[in-house]
Chain A
Amino acid sequence: MTTAETHDPRDLQIFGEPERSDQPARPGHEGKGVINIVHLYPREMSIYGDLGNTRCLAARIRRHGYAPVVRQHHPGDEIAADTHLVVGGGGQDSGQVRIGEDLAANADRLRGLADDGVPMLMVCGMYQLFGRHFVTVGGATVPGLGIFDLETLGGATRMIGPVVLDTEFGQIVGYENHSGATQLASGARPLGRVQHGHGNNGQDRGEGAIAGHVIGTYLHGPVLPANPRVADALIGWAAQAATGRPFEPEAIDDTTADRARQTQISRLLG
């Protein structure tokens, strides 16, 4: 039997992902449950290897015995109600301009999903747009989703370089590259404390933000492959959202990721 499987021509290839990973699981192959991942704006907002986060999540979801479906969200699409995990990345200024309208159109759906405990990982540019607003160097205010209680000011100096953070997921490593300086409101919680690097603003040693199951960070690398505890936290919340049952993880050999992370920590912290 053949099935007609149509791929969205706007979709990018996610390297390593199996051919039909954007299609619903075949009957009998759902494993412990189907987890629908949405990658926001792969063309406009994934310039720094951020699709690697989605590849990491999909691969680990499979290794944990669940069935991922990877949906790529392009401007003009609607984000489905049965979304269990949302990923977004960094882009250029031109990319942020092209997604503005779509993000506004999907704002209520994204806020609703976040309120329902659907986990999200927003990196760099999308992290900024998940705050209250972004003020450009020229003084224009770009509204954000307000899922994080923070604001970002465009600045003249770029904060660039390798980063080590101390977080509730242990030490995590990555690479930051941003000119916006982000200030969390007094009640907002950073993802971690900077041990090496600049972080949100180069001043208060905070990096990223975490609100419920939504994580924002400036860390590229991409951040998840070398920090599998963060990936598994997101997957655990997603499994709960998808199945209504607590996460049932499998043991995964993370030796290579641990060595990669430890090597960076030793180099940067001495």
Chain B
Amino acid sequence: MLRTTAAVIAGKAARVATRLRGGGGSAFPGLVAERVDPAFLRNALAEVRGGIVVVSGTNGKTTTTKMLVAILRAHGKVVFTNPTGSNFTRGVISAMLGELPLGGRLHADLAVLELDEAHALRFADAVAPTDALLLNVARDQLDRFAEIDHTAQLLARLAGQATRGVVLNVDDSYISRIADGLADGVRVGWFGLDDSAKERLGELQEQDLRDATDVAPPSTGPTDAFLTPLDARRFEMLFGRRGEGGRVGPLELHQRGLAAMINATAATAMARTLLGDHFVSATAKAALQAMAPPFGRGEVIDVDGNPLELVLVKNPAGFTVALGTYAAEHDEAPVATMITINDLDADGRDVSWLYDVNFESLRANGVALTSGLRAWDMALRLEYDDVTVGAVEPDLNRALDRFLAEHRDQPKRIFCSYTTMMAMRRVLADRYDLPEFGEDAQ
């Protein structure tokens, strides 16, 4: 216990130091605490009796985690989560240090943790999750994971560690086949698209990698959740394929698009599993409708009276979904578009994936600027899809200034790789008084 207290103190000190230097969301305090006490994480979560829930998959982790937490909190639960997006063990500890008493044990009903596929197993080695919510598998930073098959195996092993239940994507064969390899007694729940929306599956995943004949569709029950989109923004979630278990909605999110709707469906399925009979549809609906999107996932910044939207792009499926989401709104005012691509570790160092994204929807209005370390490669990519590019400005700050100045009276959107988003958001936060990275506006 002394050791744990020492670790808490050391970690808290590191956290204060990091904050003073202006670095939000750093993993450094977690590293300090972990050095002092290697069993830190297990201790900290030892009294979280309601469950330790991990959320993983290639796309939508951050949004889904936030939605699940919002639903659980709306039901009166005290939930610990890792809101900073530092989704690996040290990041989880860093996030924890703020609320941790010196005894080192977290007081919460539930922990809901977003975990990166590559780091999820390391976490599970330290702390066995009770439940796992697994969203999808797509190509993401192949230089790190090497192969999509490998990523799928990582998630299968993570699911194998869950002691109580898993909720899986019924439409993604990489995820649905995980149901075959679970520990005895582990409950399987499902989420997915309603039959009426099946033809839109291509918007959510890369069909080219799916071998539909591979897997028989799993059978589902009345507590599994299915998405019925009603129009571009409104949707409903059915429990059971015919709604025999009830429904949530119709409702509308702050975030646009089918991807956000399926994330909400995943979060709702898991919330229902965790809450059981205490789950209230109206409460879930209200929580989802009130939720502000996490930054970079459709966050809108007011820049001199016009909206500026930062859209994080990190892999072909995610970028394609983002472009499809925004292409649908042809009746709104034309939006000025910038694309910023770096190739640092957190962005994915190989930019080949840009050729697996269809940019044709940008033909009508063109792209005002490309920027980042791979600004010229991005412009070249757009040339091959016959999208006109106004200018190429590799320097991010200069590009941002120019984009804001030249499109002052227009709504604006920036599709950005991770490190370019972080850099631009720091600049914008100073100018437009935004909440600190990882914190919410309210």
Task: Tell me which residues across on chain B come within 8 A of A162, comparing CB atoms.
Answer: 343, 349
In angstroms, how far is the closest chain A Cβ from the Cβ of B326? Answer: 17
Asked if B358 is an interface residue, CB under 8 A from chain A, the answer is yes
Name the residue on B nearest A262 (C-beta). B376
**CB contact under 8 A between A220 and B350, given known A51-B355, A92-B148, A256-B376:** yes
From B111-119, B125-133, B221-229, B383-391, the one touching the partner chain is B383-391
Task: Tell me which residues across on chain A come within 8 A of B74, comparing CB atoms.
Answer: none
**CB contact under 8 A between A94 and B149, given known A13-B358, A55-B355:** yes
Asked if A246 is an interface residue, CB under 8 A from chain B, the answer is no
**CB contact under 8 A between A175 and B386, given known A51-B355, A52-B355, A225-B381:** no
Asked if A137 is an interface residue, CB under 8 A from chain B, the answer is no
Task: Tell me which residues across on chain B come within 8 A of A48, comparing CB atoms.
Answer: 142, 350, 352-353
| Of the residues B208, B357, B386, contact of A43 by C-beta under 8 Å | B208
Q: Would B358 and A15 count as touching, CB distance under 8 A?
A: yes
| Of the residues B354, B357, B380, contact of A257 by C-beta under 8 Å | B380
Q: Would B146 and A263 count as touching, CB distance under 8 A?
A: no
Which interface residue of A13, A47, A158, A162 has the most chain B CB atoms within 10 A?
A47
In angstroms, how far is the closest chain B Cβ from the Cβ of A75? Answer: 12
Q: Would A260 and B377 count as touching, CB distance under 8 A?
A: yes
Q: Map CB proximity to A onto B141-158 as digits: 1 under 8 Å, 0 otherwise.
A: 011001111000000000
Name the residue on B nearest A54 (C-beta). B355
Asked if A111 is an interface residue, CB under 8 A from chain B, the answer is no
CA distance A13 to B360 in the complex (A): 12
| Of the residues B209, B352, B381, B394, contact of A263 by C-beta under 8 Å | B394
Q: Would A256 and B359 count as touching, CB distance under 8 A?
A: no
Asked if B247 is an interface residue, CB under 8 A from chain A, the answer is no
| Of the residues A43, A56, A177, A257, contact of B146 by C-beta under 8 Å | A177
Asked if B44 is an interface residue, CB under 8 A from chain A, the answer is no
Asked if A81 is an interface residue, CB under 8 A from chain B, the answer is no
Q: Map CB proximity to B onto A248-270 as digits: 1 under 8 Å, 0 otherwise.
A: 00000000110110010001000
Q: Map CB proximity to B onto A153-176 as digits: 1 under 8 Å, 0 otherwise.
A: 000001011100000000000010
A35-76 interface (Cβ within 8 A of B):
42-43, 46-52, 55-56, 59
CA distance A66 to B364 in the complex (A): 27
**CB contact under 8 A between A52 and B352, given known A226-B380, A259-B376:** yes
Name the residue on B nearest A220 (C-beta). B352
Asked if A12 is an interface residue, CB under 8 A from chain B, the answer is yes
CA distance A171 to B7 in the complex (A): 53
Asked if B373 is an interface residue, CB under 8 A from chain A, the answer is yes
CA distance A46 to B139 in the complex (A): 12
Task: Tell me which residues across on chain A come within 8 A of B356, comparing CB atoms.
Answer: 15, 49, 51-52
Name the residue on B nearest A260 (C-beta). B376
CA distance A177 to B348 in the complex (A): 12
Asked if A221 is an interface residue, CB under 8 A from chain B, the answer is yes
A206-235 interface (Cβ within 8 A of B):
220-222, 225-226
Asked if A93 is an interface residue, CB under 8 A from chain B, the answer is yes
Asked if A16 is an interface residue, CB under 8 A from chain B, the answer is yes
Name the residue on B nearest A179 (C-beta). B146
Asked if B292 is an interface residue, CB under 8 A from chain A, the answer is no
Task: Tell me which residues across on chain A come within 8 A of B381, comparing CB atoms.
Answer: 52, 225
In angstroms, how far is the closest chain B Cβ from the Cβ of A135? Answer: 19
Q: Would A259 and B360 count as touching, CB distance under 8 A?
A: no
In angstroms, how far is the closest chain A Cβ from the Cβ of B441? Answer: 37
CA distance A259 to B393 in the complex (A): 12
| Of the residues B143, B351, B394, contact of A160 by C-beta under 8 Å | B143
Task: Tell me which residues across on chain B come within 8 A of A175, comparing CB atoms.
Answer: 143, 349-352
Name the residue on B nearest A228 (C-beta). B380
Asked if B52 is an interface residue, CB under 8 A from chain A, the answer is no
CA distance A166 to B108 in the complex (A): 60
CA distance A147 to B383 in the complex (A): 34
Task: Tell me which residues across on chain A come within 8 A of B352, comparing CB atoms.
Answer: 48-50, 52, 175, 220-222
Task: Tell me which residues across on chain A come within 8 A of B380, comparing CB atoms.
Answer: 225-226, 256-257, 260
In angstroms, how far is the closest chain B Cβ from the Cβ of A16? Answer: 4
Name the residue on B nearest A261 (C-beta). B376
Q: Would A49 and B354 count as touching, CB distance under 8 A?
A: yes
In angstroms, how far is the closest chain B Cβ from the Cβ of A177? Answer: 6
Asked if B379 is an interface residue, CB under 8 A from chain A, the answer is yes
In angstroms, how far is the closest chain A Cβ from the Cβ of B413? Answer: 20
CA distance A179 to B209 in the complex (A): 22
In angstroms, how far is the closest chain B Cβ from the Cβ of A219? Answer: 10
Q: Would B354 and A263 count as touching, CB distance under 8 A?
A: no
Q: Would A15 and B149 count as touching, CB distance under 8 A?
A: no
28 interchain pairs, CB-CB under 8 A: A15-B385, A16-B358, A16-B359, A16-B360, A46-B208, A48-B352, A49-B352, A49-B354, A49-B355, A52-B352, A52-B355, A92-B149, A93-B147, A93-B149, A94-B149, A161-B349, A162-B343, A175-B143, A175-B351, A222-B355, A225-B384, A256-B379, A256-B380, A256-B383, A257-B380, A260-B374, A260-B377, A263-B373
- Top 5 A-B pairs, shortest CB-CB distance: A52-B355, A49-B352, A49-B355, A260-B376, A16-B385
* A→B interface (CB under 8 Å): 12-13, 15-16, 42-43, 46-52, 55-56, 59, 92-94, 158, 160-162, 175, 177, 179, 220-222, 225-226, 256-257, 259-260, 263, 267
Knowing that A220-B352, A260-B379 are A-B contacts, what are 19 other residue pairs whose CB atoms are under 8 Å apart, sorted by A's residue number? A15-B355, A15-B384, A16-B359, A43-B208, A43-B209, A48-B350, A51-B355, A52-B381, A56-B384, A93-B149, A161-B143, A175-B351, A177-B142, A177-B143, A177-B350, A222-B352, A225-B380, A256-B376, A257-B380
